[in-house]
Structure 1
Amino acid sequence: MTASSNLIFYDTETTGLLKDFSQILQCGSIQTDRNLDILNEQNLGCAPLPWIIPHPMAMVTNKKTNLFHSNVSHYELMRDLNRQWRQWTIDEPATFITFNGIAYDEELVRRQFYWNLFESYLTNTNGNGRLDILLMMNNVAAFSPDVLNIPLFNGGPGISLKQADIAEANGIEIGDAHDAIADCKLMIGLLKQINAKKPELIDFFLSISTKPGVQAAVQQPGFIGLGEVFRREIFKYPVVPCGNKAPNDLMFFDLSFEPEEIFEMDTQEIYSLVQKPSKSGPFKKYGINKTIPICPSSMIDNKDIFDMDFAILEKRAEQVRGNTDFQTLVSQAMADKIDNWNNEYEHIEQMIYSGGFPSPQDKNLMADFHRIDSAEERIKITRNISDERHRLFAERIICQTYPHEAPEDMLNRYNSLITQRLTEEGPWGSLDEVMLELDKLLEKDNSDETQGILEETKEFLTQRAESLN
């Protein structure tokens, strides 16, 4: 499958690590072509929302205390980000590239598009795909160690896949670490090094940045190299697909196991292995909507990397691919597994995946909300949004944007939200606990820069608490 040549690298700096309640303060994006030449950049920053509690260590890491007093709102940041990404993808779908983004940045961006009435899934719909370089590095460390120097952690034997450590080990200038644009340039530098030695590996990972790309890749003849790094140790598996569960789950079979021995197991034994896959077992489950650290066996240069000949692995792969009854049984076992997800959430920030998609009518109303810059019209639009989640988010935007025009009932809910988040303990954390932690951190022997950031954070949070009185 042809990979996109339109690449968008992005990184975020945030107020904390809580996906549902932390806020993006900065988002940097860089558009490149397939040669990794920079075409465009965007660097956005905004102030914390009135109910957000910035965590002190997050601020020490990102050093963005200057944004405490920004006159740019969070809605404006997400609006401009949405607008720019759509412009960059209007002629050709893009691959959105992050480092550890599948686990964090992607989830933050999705949620905060959702908070601001934008389509949440911009990065993996309409032909767009996602590539997480950290997951790609799992495969590089396992099967292509010659393309990059993989640093040891504290002298070994474990390795480090921390972005800054890999950059330093390969002579890539780190720049202003934990600045979103600087981190994007660091990602580009890492891929340039791989591209110089093994461009086909980058092409392959770009090709599997979408669901159709993954599905096409795993159906190619032969076996696949699956590389994982767990607790700083590298694991290498020869695998082949053996089952799936709609919409996103894919099961691999580890070819270091003799297929015939697994085929001969009774149904209950196979069900148990499939539904509770272990690191030492024959099954490995992945999501096709995320970066999978795989590569075709043809890209593995070291033919002695496994404990058996490639010819044996190829034969075993044919056995698994040819046993449709086994694949059906594995798929059925996956389908029969009951996922005990708790979708009963109290706060709308937590409901991105549990409340369904907006109706066509609500989507049209939200599009009008963004198009019309009028307090009166936006208030009317908000009243007509049927989904309570989106209606309440719209109210928050109105109260922050038009504090003097907002209706009394909306202002009451808005002010109650701020009071709750700043005075009560909840899944968003606790202002009292953060202030106690700040005082302890300020007593340490900090650098002048760290001490200054902590003092600015304390002053900001103190003013935020006093504003309630």
Structure 2
Amino acid sequence: MTERKYAIYDSETSGPRPRYDQIFQLAGILTDDSFAQVDQLNIRARRLPYVLPGPKALEVTNIDPYSLDSPEHYSPYEFAVEVHETFQRWAPAVFLGYNSIDFDEEIVRQMFWSNLLHPYITNTKGSMRADLLIMMRAYSACQPGAFVIPKNDEGKDSFRLEHIAPANGFENMQAHDALGDIYATAFMAKVCQQASPELWEHLLKLCQPRGCDEILSAPTCKLVTHFGVSETHLVTRLASNPTNPKQVCVFDLSVDPTPYLNLSARQIAERMRTDFRILRTVKTNSQPVLFHEGDKLAPEVTAEVTSGESNARLMAINDHPTFKIRVAEALSIRASEFEAAPHLEAKIYDGFPSRDDERLMREFHEAASWPQRKDIVARLQDSRMKQLGVRILMSEAPQVFDPAYRDKVKRGMLENRLMPPAEADLPWETFASARAGLAQVDDPELRARIETWLDEQEAAAQAVLAA
């Protein structure tokens, strides 16, 4: 049996939006199964010309705005390629982060996709992605005392990495530095693994949808959630989304299902919004914490429910001829209610490129020159990939375009991305929103420095538009 490897990584970014922000620093270490380091990556990227960092993000990550365009850093495309090649070399591995499933995983995937690279390295070809924060919360419910959980200023349990790692003996904590955070993550992962190897292996099984599906296929199972405090629910699977089988609706058997059984599909869809703690949606590709009902590792169910009550409720659900069918329909209704993504970045999950386009994207990275890459971009059929290709060219080698087209694209980026009309409600940072965000910066000297940098950037943009 091949020894398991862990690829532990962290990113520091321009802001909190994985679709629209940019990674400025990514650090990672490859370890063996005992968390001994065998390889390392720590690189920084220059700023994309159409991305502005949030002022608070600069303060949290301790990044000087004047360093963002440093020639010592990788260009955005070079950065993406270097991370991609490193992750490919490290795979297959468990790609482990801290609070990473919903952020680091998504922003790294977005970066790969935006640079015409295969975006799913961390969960294909034998690799899987794991979030240590999810795992540590599970430990706190299943193995109390496995590690020290410090209190925050409000007297509540704190799972913040910069608090919990030092409380358990990690020294030289460098919070919000990517390399410092991954060493703290590796330290806490080893603490958990040693506290209960059996629970560690169980939680790793849940990193893959098939591990979750095996448990959800039982008549009942336990679901552990954490919203401030951990709770354990006895649930039964109702249905999966017909268009997304990794999205499963379960019912909490601490509640009488009778009021739900005869609702229409649309009514159930509405109840999924209002009664989401009863009709729970479980994403099997997001490491839910599940156990077989009789698993000795599992904590006790939080809500009081007798076996007689749970069995009667399960029977009522299973005996109803149409309830589960209408739950599946309700999941489809909810999926259809999401509006089509209006911006290019949010179209990442709007289908896969064709095989011809995949071949062209491979040729793009293998090409010897930027003019060759420009010709390849022109041959792409997927409009998303073509637009992304143009963005790469404009950022890395604008000289490949004739001056008139280059100026048109540059002006469009400035007008639509950084200096839109005041009434525009956009999901990315603009000069106007960045200035509004200055008020969140606590350090007055840093606030003044960021404001001066914004003044200079905006003046340069206005000069381009006035030319």
For normalisation by structure 1, the TM-score amounts to 0.84
For residue 334 of structure 1, the aligned residue among 328, 333, 338 is 328
Aligned-partner Cα distance in 1 for 2:278–2:338: 29
* Equivalent runs, 1:259-298 vs 2, <5 Å: 262=257, 266-268=261-263, 272=267, 276-277=271-272, 282-296=278-292, 297-298=294-295
Task: State the shift of 1:378 in Å.
Answer: 1.0
Deviates more, 1:119-128 or 1:178-187: 119-128
Task: State the shift of 1:17 in Å.
Answer: 1.6
Kindly provide the CA deviation profile for residues 99-141 of structure 1, in whole angstroms up to 9, marking residues without a partner as x: 2212211221121112111122222223322212222233223
Q: Determine if contact 1:3/1:206 at 8 Å carries over to the other structure.
A: no
Q: Determine if contact 1:242/1:326 at 8 Å carries over to the other structure.
A: no
Q: Determine if contact 2:249/2:282 at 8 Å carries over to the other structure.
A: yes
| Ranges in structure 1 where 5+ consecutive residues have no aligned partner | none
Aligned-partner Cα distance in 2 for 1:343–1:431: 27
Q: How many positions carry a matched residue from both structures?
A: 448
Task: State the shift of 1:376 in Å.
Answer: 2.0
Secondary structure of 2:129's counterpart equals strand
Aligned-partner Cα distance in 1 for 2:300–2:126: 35
For residue 385 of structure 2, the aligned residue among 380, 390, 394 is 390
Task: State the shift of 1:209 in Å.
Answer: 0.9
Task: State the shift of 1:195 in Å.
Answer: 1.3
Task: State the shift of 1:235 in Å.
Answer: 2.2
Q: Determine if contact 1:7/1:94 at 8 Å carries over to the other structure.
A: yes
Aligned to 2:235: 239
* 1:57 counterpart = 2:56: yes
Distance change in 2, residues 1:215/1:20 (3 Å)? same
Task: State the shift of 1:413 in Å.
Answer: 4.3
Q: Which amino acid aligns with 1:87?
A: R
Aligned-partner Cα distance in 1 for 2:170–2:221: 30
Secondary structure of 2:263's counterpart equals helix
Secondary structure of 1:298's counterpart equals coil
Kindly provide the CA deviation profile for residues 29-84 of structure 1, in whole angstroms up to 9, marking residues without a partner as x: 22222222222111121111111111111011111226413322111111111111
| Ranges in structure 2 where 5+ consecutive residues have no aligned partner | none
Q: Determine if contact 2:353/2:382 at 8 Å carries over to the other structure.
A: yes
Aligned to 1:203: 201
For normalisation by structure 2, the TM-score amounts to 0.85
Aligned to 1:68: 68
Aligned to 1:192: 190
Aligned to 2:216: 218
Kindly provide the CA deviation profile for residues 282-313 of structure 1, in whole angstroms up to 9, marking residues without a partner as x: 4322111111023444244766966467xx38
Task: State the shift of 1:323 in Å.
Answer: 7.5
Aligned to 2:458: 465
Aligned-partner Cα distance in 2 for 1:210–1:251: 18
Deviates more, 1:135-144 or 1:200-209: 135-144
Q: Determine if contact 2:223/2:233 at 8 Å carries over to the other structure.
A: yes
* Equivalent runs, 1:6-45 vs 2, <5 Å: 6-45=5-44
Q: Which amino acid aligns with 1:369?
A: F
Distance change in 2, residues 1:146/1:466 (3 Å)? same
Aligned-partner Cα distance in 2 for 1:393–1:168: 42
Aligned-partner Cα distance in 1 for 2:349–2:119: 10
Task: State the shift of 1:247 in Å.
Answer: 2.0
Secondary structure of 1:276's counterpart equals helix
Distance change in 2, residues 1:150/1:318 (3 Å)? farther
* Equivalent runs, 1:240-255 vs 2, <5 Å: 240-245=236-241, 246-255=244-253
Aligned to 1:427: 427
Secondary structure of 1:150's counterpart equals coil
Percent of aligned pairs with the same amino acid: 24
Task: State the shift of 1:390 in Å.
Answer: 1.4
Secondary structure of 2:257's counterpart equals helix
Task: State the shift of 1:329 in Å.
Answer: 3.5
Secondary structure of 1:152's counterpart equals coil
Q: Determine if contact 1:111/1:352 at 8 Å carries over to the other structure.
A: yes
Task: State the shift of 1:318 in Å.
Answer: 11
Aligned-partner Cα distance in 2 for 1:215–1:95: 19
* 1:361 counterpart = 2:356: yes
Distance change in 2, residues 1:399/1:267 (3 Å)? same
Task: State the shift of 1:409 in Å.
Answer: 5.6
Aligned-partner Cα distance in 1 for 2:358–2:264: 47
Secondary structure of 2:230's counterpart equals strand
Aligned to 1:172: 170
